[in-house]
């Protein structure tokens, strides 16, 4: 019975996710679902990305948190529209929550929408939001075993951003092992080793994101 209920929940979510995907496609708006543990640096990555790309791309953000609007406020200070979703205890965003948030965004004027999911490596990996790309964000401070412990996320992701490499001297993380393990789970992963504090490695991430958004938009049939 539990499996059946879970299946029904995901089926209902997937139906709404398909509607979200159609809405994004109709406006040629590239949707990116950022998934990480709390504190891995999703919001810092967003802030850096906005600063780098806002002159070339029109960006919007959906912020998911259990409580507060702190991250949305950080994003708005960069002149980008941000819609806050508070789950009130839920450990992930679902497609219905995102569909409600889309009503507050002018998709027709946006090139990319970032969905910053609730900090969690488990549940968000299971729920399709209608995104074009799921991105895993992890930090070296979490250790190098995360791909082994949470393989579903890495199988579903198109890219992984390994953040806080400036902290490597102060951790036991083996960066090569982390990268290689992620690629063993999903050989198609694009891997970016970055520091949102120093800026190291971010240019490659910016280029990949802009190229991916352009290629995706060009693939949409009128």
Over residues 8-34, the pLDDT tens digits come to: 778 999 999 999 999 999 999 999 999
Instruction: Map tokens 């969905």 to a residue.
Output: 115
Domain borders along the chain are 2-219
User: For the chain, how many residues are written?
Assistant: 222
* pLDDT classification of 7: cutoffs 50, 70, 90: low
**Number of Cβ within a 10 Å radius of residue 73:** 12
pLDDT for 69-78, tens place per residue? 999 999 999 9
Nearest to 37 by CA among 132, 156, 161: 161
For residue 6, the model assigns a pLDDT of 52
CA within 13 Å, CB half, 31: 27
* CA 116 to each of CA 6, 120, 199: distance values in angstroms, whole numbers, following the listed order: 24, 11, 20
Give the integer Cα–Cα distance in Å for 94 and 130. 10
Q: List, for residues 54-100, the tens digit of each pLDDT value.
A: 999 999 999 999 999 999 999 999 999 999 999 999 999 999 999 99
State whether residue 160 is helix, strand or coil: strand
Q: What's the fold here for domain 2-219?
A: Rossmann fold (3.40.50)
Question: With 80 as the cut, is the pLDDT of residue 3 above it?
Answer: no
- pTM beyond 0.85, yes or no: yes
Residue the block writes with tokens 């996710």: 17
Concatenate the DSSP letters of all residues of 3-27 into one string: HHHHHHHHHHHHHHHHHHHHHHHHT
Per-residue model confidence (pLDDT) at position 100 = 96
- Give the whole-number percent of the chain exceeding pLDDT 70: 96
Which strands sit side by side in the sheet containing 190-193, from one edge to the other?
82-86, 59-65, 112-116, 30-36, 133-139, 159-163, 190-193
């Amino acid at each position: 019975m539990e499996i059946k209920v879970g299946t029904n929940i995901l089926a209902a979510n997937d139906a709404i996710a398909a509607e979200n995907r159609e809405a994004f496609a109709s406006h040629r708006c590239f949707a990116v679902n950022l998934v990480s543990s709390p504190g891995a640096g999703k919001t810092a990555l967003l802030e850096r990305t906005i600063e780098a790309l806002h002159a070339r791309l029109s960006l919007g953000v959906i912020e998911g948190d259990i409580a507060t609007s702190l991250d949305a406020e950080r994003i708005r200070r960069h002149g980008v529209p941000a819609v806050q979703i508070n789950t009130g205890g839920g450990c992930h965003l679902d497609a219905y929550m995102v569909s409600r948030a889309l009503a507050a965004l002018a998709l027709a004027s946006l090139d990319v929408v970032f969905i910053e999911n609730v900090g969690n490596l488990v549940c968000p990996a299971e729920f399709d939001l209608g995104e074009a790309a799921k991105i895993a964000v992890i930090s070296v401070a979490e250790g190098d075993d995360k791909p082994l412990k949470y393989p579903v996320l890495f199988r579903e992701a198109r890219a992984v951003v390994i953040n806080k490499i400036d902290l490597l001297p102060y951790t036991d993380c083996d960066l090569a092992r982390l990268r290689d393990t992620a690629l063993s789970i999903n050989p198609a992963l694009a891997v970016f080793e970055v520091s949102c504090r120093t800026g190291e490695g971010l240019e490659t991430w910016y280029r990949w994101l802009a190229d991916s958004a352009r290629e995706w938009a060009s693939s949409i049939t009128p």
